[in-house]
Structure 1
Amino acid sequence: MTRVVITGMGAVTPLGNDVNTFWQNILGGVSGAGSITRFDAERFRTRIACEVKDFSPEKYLDRNEIKRSDLFTQYALYAASQALEDAGLDLPAMDPFDIGVIWGVGQGGMETFEQEVTNYVTGSYVPRFSPFFVPRLIVNLASGMISMKFGLQGINYTAVSACATSNTALMDAFNYIKMGKAKVFVSGGSEAPITPASIGGFSAMKAMSARNDDPLHACRPYDQDRDGFVMGEGAGALVLEEYEHAKKRGAHIYAELVGAAMTADAYHMTAPHPEGIGASKAMTLALEEAKIAPEDLDYLNPHATSTPIGDISELKAVVAALGDTSNLHISATKSMTGHLLGAAGAIEAIIAIKAINDQVVPPTINVDNLDNAIPKGIHIVTNEPLPRTINAAMSNAFGFGGHNASVVFKKV
């Protein structure tokens, strides 16, 4: 069976706009949270978020790309540029139809939509909309513009499965390479949801933390006093490549993607199944495809958004899927990055891969009192990174609508 490896990575995150800076801040236990600066959030229930800082799209994007794209697409182009640069592919020498883009976006151009509707409502009688309104809004323009920028003419589309989106995109790219439909994919996800409507909508659901006076400690997965997630934004990009193709060109291989699976809870619009039945099955199927025994899984980057129900539901699923968790170490890195929605799985896949490369489990920060409901035998790594042998790592991503997606990486 065709093997699939990771040969390039790129990142735009609340903790840095390149992979190395991002990873060092993750290991350092740095929080990316703060008061919202994108708009006046004074009257909102939630007034904090994990914003991208010091983002200069001009480093990789030209003026027309910036003008024609919403922020989520700019993040996508920036991260994809880094990943392809890192992979060192000789694109002019390759058949462009051998290289595709499968990207992930949950919401799309929220900022564009809100600005255009506001301009219409507050403007003159004659409706005026930007000719770039629709292209900036629709989610598939991220994958489309990546392909245009680099002349990639293979399979191209954007996946949408809420917060499971990036893992969905990675799984699809993985499967297409295994089927011989492509040699290389740029995959991952991006999101730019720190806008009045997006923050207001999630806030109205009481899904987000309201610890506005202490943003650095607001996202606290597994802590007894957690009160919801903190919104994040950014992008993560990975270059997936057929193993023999990568080996032949002497590419640096970060890890092998060995398993991926999706299931549905078929339970509730926004809440996970309380016993994690769908999540458990996704993990089991991903491990089976990876041919990794549950006791040989070393590290899990969980979905763990810091919600009272979701965190425990996922851990129940872990126990159901693995049985013996004595070898497994878990860290919830959303405690530092916030929840990037459709981009979450992409940056967390990068974290899982870096954990394998550096043989270290990053920490979960802001855990003062572990929830008593955490199942016995679960090892949560808190506050400090933990050096240990990591040969196999899993990353989970779950989304509204009951979407569950798990991916498994292995040391090569």
Structure 2
Amino acid sequence: MLKEPISITAISSISSLGQTFDEVWESYENDSHFLTEADIGNQSVWVSKLTETVKGAIQILRQSDANYKYLDDSVLFGIYTARKAVGTAGWGEGSNFGVNIGSSRGATSLFEKYHQEFLTEGKSSTLSSPTTTLGNISSWVAHDLKSKGPEISHSITCSTALHAVLNAVAWIQSGMTDKFLVGGSEAPLTPFTIAQMQALKVYSRMPSRAQSRGIDKKNYPCLAMDLDKKQNTMVLGEASGMACLEKGIKKNSLALIEGIGYATEPLEHGVSISTDAQCFQDSMKMALGNLNPFEVDVVVMHAPGTIKGDLSEFNAIKKVFCNKIPFLTTNKWKVGHTFGASGSLSLEMAVLMLNHQRPVSIPFVTYEALPKTIEKVMVNAVGFGGNAVSILLSKR
């Protein structure tokens, strides 16, 4: 548990769910998913894309500054989302706050563009190096917001955004700063990125003909948290998510961070975790601290839609929570796996459930009961390398 709670005073995201708190919550309240078929390279695949409204706003941002013309989408997504978060929190230009934003894949579009140019022409463009570094997002966001605090970038695969939260909590509790902007941004809908996931044989090839309690699963390309699925169903999505963290309990707090946990799995190979996800067991226990596990009402699972990934996390939850498993949910069946941004979207989902006092259920999952009240929510994330993070949130 933390020395003192840390307030989340603003959250902002862009994804196929929308871009405002109200839009995102409305998207969560129905049984529809936001995955579409798109032509990526020379094939048609399931993906999760930004809304047309957001795409238009990103294009305006790109044209607003001569320097922004050459930036990767992942960077522009981050700048756009960070502006909204900081504005909501009321942090003025030039405020003393830290910035910690990461990405799993980085500047995917520019990497592929510049590499193709090199293969064709035998030389590289002048801006190929500075516009494809992983530090791009945090540095450009800090430049755009004129922040005066520390500026940190990292890539810890799919748990990147929640690792940013860990970093920020450590800085705040050290007394070196009182505010931190954290998050993740990802623009992975490129031919090579999709091909990498297909090479792992985890990408969705739905529809399937399976049926469950009257729900036709063929209508859901990603069956995240369905423990009976017979094939992997991960779908990639583009998104960005930011959160403003402040020391103590603030009047404008959306939720409080009560506990943080992290762990790394002893891996036998680099792409999966053990059948009972020891890393998740350890990270969740650390986040709980001395709290009785029965007090947790909801766990927002990482659950990427793969057979082994979903089941191993579920097994870890059973071991930690024993005979009283909390309400389990995830958003990847609806918005896809957004890699480094996924933890931010899960954090936002948790905050929305706490504020609306309603759980987000999955249509093809059978629930014995729904929680009557939601006081505490655990949010999980993990990535290649078995680097798990768990964040415990409570109502403000």
Alignment partner, residue 72 of structure 1: 74
Alignment partner, residue 130 of structure 1: 125
Instruction: Give the counterpart letter for 1:222 in structure 2.
Output: M
Say if 2:204 and 2:234, in contact at 8 Å, map to a contact too.
yes
Instruction: Give the counterpart letter for 1:10 in structure 2.
Output: S
* In structure 1, C-alpha distance between the alignment counterparts of 2:241 and 2:368, rounded to whole Å: 24
1:177 aligns to what SS in structure 2?
helix
Say if 2:327 and 2:371, in contact at 8 Å, map to a contact too.
no
Q: Paired residue for 1:101, among 83, 99, 102?
A: 99
Alignment partner, residue 172 of structure 1: 167
Say if 1:359 and 1:390, in contact at 8 Å, map to a contact too.
yes
User: Deviations 1:96-116 (Å, cap 9, x if unpaired)?
Assistant: 3xx100112111011101011
Distance 1:212 1:37, change over 3 A: farther
Distance 1:87 1:361, change over 3 A: same
Q: How do residues 5-404 of structure 1 correspond to structure 2 at under 5 angstroms?
A: 5-37=7-39, 39-42=41-44, 47-54=45-52, 55=55, 56-58=57-59, 62-92=64-94, 94=95, 96=96, 99-123=97-121, 127=123, 129-211=124-206, 217-223=220-226, 224-225=228-229, 226-243=231-248, 247=250, 251-267=251-267, 268-288=269-289, 291-326=290-325, 328-367=326-365, 379=367, 388-404=372-388
User: Deviations 1:290-310 (Å, cap 9, x if unpaired)?
Assistant: x53200000110011111111
1:357 aligns to what SS in structure 2?
helix
With normalisation by structure 2, the TM-score equals 0.90
Distance 1:350 1:78, change over 3 A: same
Say if 1:48 and 1:215, in contact at 8 Å, map to a contact too.
no
* In structure 2, C-alpha distance between the alignment counterparts of 1:120 and 1:215, rounded to whole Å: 42
Instruction: Give the counterpart letter for 1:195 in structure 2.
Output: T
Q: Report the more deviating stretch, 9-18 or 353-362.
A: 9-18
Alpha-carbon offset, residue 159 of structure 1: 2.4
Say if 1:36 and 1:51, in contact at 8 Å, map to a contact too.
no
* In structure 1, C-alpha distance between the alignment counterparts of 2:280 and 2:368, rounded to whole Å: 19
Instruction: Give the counterpart letter for 2:108 in structure 1.
Output: M
Say if 2:102 and 2:154, in contact at 8 Å, map to a contact too.
yes
1:134 aligns to what SS in structure 2?
coil
User: Deviations 1:275-318 (Å, cap 9, x if unpaired)?
Assistant: 21121111000111xx5320000011001111111111111101
Alpha-carbon offset, residue 48 of structure 1: 1.3
User: Deviations 1:345-364 (Å, cap 9, x if unpaired)?
Assistant: 01110100111011011122
Alpha-carbon offset, residue 211 of structure 1: 1.5
Instruction: Give the counterpart letter for 2:392 in structure 1.
Output: V
Alignment partner, residue 212 of structure 2: none
Alpha-carbon offset, residue 150 of structure 1: 1.0
Say if 1:192 and 1:234, in contact at 8 Å, map to a contact too.
yes
* In structure 2, C-alpha distance between the alignment counterparts of 1:29 and 1:87, rounded to whole Å: 31
Distance 1:232 1:216, change over 3 A: farther
User: Deviations 1:156-185 (Å, cap 9, x if unpaired)?
Assistant: 111221111111111111121111111111
* In structure 1, C-alpha distance between the alignment counterparts of 2:295 and 2:166, rounded to whole Å: 21
2:158 aligns to what SS in structure 1?
coil
Say if 2:61 and 2:68, in contact at 8 Å, map to a contact too.
no
Say if 1:102 and 1:188, in contact at 8 Å, map to a contact too.
yes
* In structure 2, C-alpha distance between the alignment counterparts of 1:256 and 1:158, rounded to whole Å: 24
Say if 2:61 and 2:80, in contact at 8 Å, map to a contact too.
yes
> Structure 2, unaligned stretches of length 5 or more?
209-216
Alignment partner, residue 374 of structure 1: none
Say if 1:2 and 1:177, in contact at 8 Å, map to a contact too.
no
Say if 2:35 and 2:334, in contact at 8 Å, map to a contact too.
yes
Alpha-carbon offset, residue 403 of structure 1: 0.9
Q: Report the more deviating stretch, 222-231 or 338-347.
A: 222-231
Instruction: Give the counterpart letter for 2:273 in structure 1.
Output: P
The ranges of structure 1 where at least 4 consecutive aligned residues each deviate by more than 6 angstroms after the TM superposition are 212-215
Q: Report the more deviating stretch, 162-171 or 316-325.
A: 316-325
* In structure 2, C-alpha distance between the alignment counterparts of 1:108 and 1:380, rounded to whole Å: 41
* In structure 1, C-alpha distance between the alignment counterparts of 2:364 and 2:323, rounded to whole Å: 27
Alpha-carbon offset, residue 130 of structure 1: 3.0
RMSD: 2.1
Alignment partner, residue 214 of structure 2: none
Instruction: Give the counterpart letter for 2:283 in structure 1.
Output: A
Q: Report the more deviating stretch, 272-281 or 358-367.
A: 358-367
Distance 1:338 1:83, change over 3 A: same
Say if 2:207 and 2:220, in contact at 8 Å, map to a contact too.
no
2:392 aligns to what SS in structure 1?
strand
Say if 2:61 and 2:76, in contact at 8 Å, map to a contact too.
no
* In structure 1, C-alpha distance between the alignment counterparts of 2:322 and 2:104, rounded to whole Å: 32
Say if 2:207 and 2:219, in contact at 8 Å, map to a contact too.
no
Alpha-carbon offset, residue 242 of structure 1: 1.1
* In structure 1, C-alpha distance between the alignment counterparts of 2:296 and 2:6, rounded to whole Å: 19
User: Deviations 1:329-387 (Å, cap 9, x if unpaired)?
Assistant: 111211101001111001110100111011011122444xx6xxxxxxxx578xxxx57
